Structure 1
Amino acid sequence: MFDPSQADVRRFFCGAWRKHRAAEVLTPLEAMALDWILEHPEYHEDLADVERALAADYGGDAGRTNPFLHLSMHLAISEQLSIDHPTGIRAAHEALAHRHGSAHAAAHEIMECLGETVWRAQRERTQPDGQAYLDCIRRRARG
């Protein structure tokens, strides 16, 4: 199982952004990450300096979204959609995208469910409940 450290994640996203700006070849995963980086210009400055990114504190007291967590969740959801796992997430995403008129807005709706699912699993010290996650997404898709 891939278990990157916080520093690994920050280096990955900063590296993808650096490679894009330098017109270097991206790996497939970096290209997927870049799609989300481009959707979030508000994070470009955070990604421009890897040393500053490694030192940054995005704790609850920081008063802003952690760009690396946000982009990581986008990437996780993209991976789930690519393999339709949990089964049905792709159809639920399409319904959300239709409802909102935006695949990006749909991903943000799914992100809320993903965050809740991970939080609940951590609180209860269990594995994430894939069915509860999918049910949350489907409820949001129905409006």
Structure 2
Amino acid sequence: MFNPSRDQVRQFFIESWRKHRAKETLSQMEDIAAELVFQHPEYHALIENLDSVDKDFRPEDGQVNPFLHLSLHLAIHEQLSIDQPPGIRGAYDACLRRHRDDRHAALHEVLEALGETLFEAQRSGKPLDAMAYVENVKRRAGK
């Protein structure tokens, strides 16, 4: 199983975005990463700053970690492509309908649910509850 370090993940997004901007050839995963960065213009300056590799983003200081945010997007992209956990694709589709086909808004609903599920797993010291995650997305779709 691939388990990149924090710096490797950050370098991956930074390099994917750099290659995209330079119109260089990207791998399929780099292309997805560059598209995710493109969809978040609020992160462009940070992603283009090589010093951001070492920056800490503290939630208690009101900071959002853009690399974590983009990584969750990437994870969700993979989940949706294989419907894993089972039912995530249908739950996302329901969110998509709720958001009138605004793909990014629907993905953010899924991202929030994933973040909550990850936080709960960390807090409880238990494995991620995939079914609770899918149910959370379904609840969000029904709002």
TM-score, normalized by the shorter chain, greater than 0.5: yes
Give the C-alpha shift of residue 65 in structure 1: 1.3
| Structure 2 unaligned spans of 5+ | none
> How far apart, CA to CA, are the structure 1 residues paired with 2:59 and 2:122?
17
Instruction: Give the alignment's TM-score, normalised by structure 1.
Output: 0.94
2:61 is the counterpart of 1:58? no
Instruction: Give the alignment's TM-score, normalised by structure 2.
Output: 0.94
RMSD of aligned residue pairs (Cα, Å): 1.1
2:56 partner SS: coil
Q: Which residue of 1 aligns with 2:2?
A: 2
Aligned residues: 142
The 8 Å contact of residues 121 and 128 in structure 1, kept in 2 or not, is answered as yes
Q: Which residue of 2 aligns with 1:108?
A: 108
> How far apart, CA to CA, are the structure 2 residues paired with 1:84 and 1:77?
10
Taking structure 1 as reference, are residues 9 and 141 closer, same or farther at Cα in structure 2, changes over 3 Å only?
same
Q: Which residue of 1 aligns with 2:22?
A: 22
The 8 Å contact of residues 13 and 33 in structure 2, kept in 1 or not, is answered as yes
Q: Which residue of 2 aligns with 1:40?
A: 40
> How far apart, CA to CA, are the structure 1 residues paired with 2:111 and 2:120?
14
* Pairing 1:71-90 to 2, within 5 Å after superposition: 71-90=70-89
The 8 Å contact of residues 117 and 132 in structure 1, kept in 2 or not, is answered as yes
> How far apart, CA to CA, are the structure 1 residues paired with 2:138 and 2:5?
32
| Structure 1 unaligned spans of 5+ | none
The 8 Å contact of residues 7 and 54 in structure 2, kept in 1 or not, is answered as no
1:2 partner SS: coil
> How far apart, CA to CA, are the structure 1 residues paired with 2:44 and 2:71?
15
Give the C-alpha shift of residue 123 in structure 1: 1.3
Give the C-alpha shift of residue 53 in structure 1: 1.3
> How far apart, CA to CA, are the structure 2 residues paired with 1:36 and 1:75?
8
Amino acid at match of 2:98: R
> How far apart, CA to CA, are the structure 2 residues paired with 1:99 and 1:108?
12
> How far apart, CA to CA, are the structure 2 residues paired with 1:42 and 1:118?
24
Q: Which residue of 1 aligns with 2:137?
A: 137
> How far apart, CA to CA, are the structure 2 residues paired with 1:125 and 1:60?
20
Amino acid at match of 1:124: S
User: What is the percent sequence identity of the aligned residues?
Assistant: 49
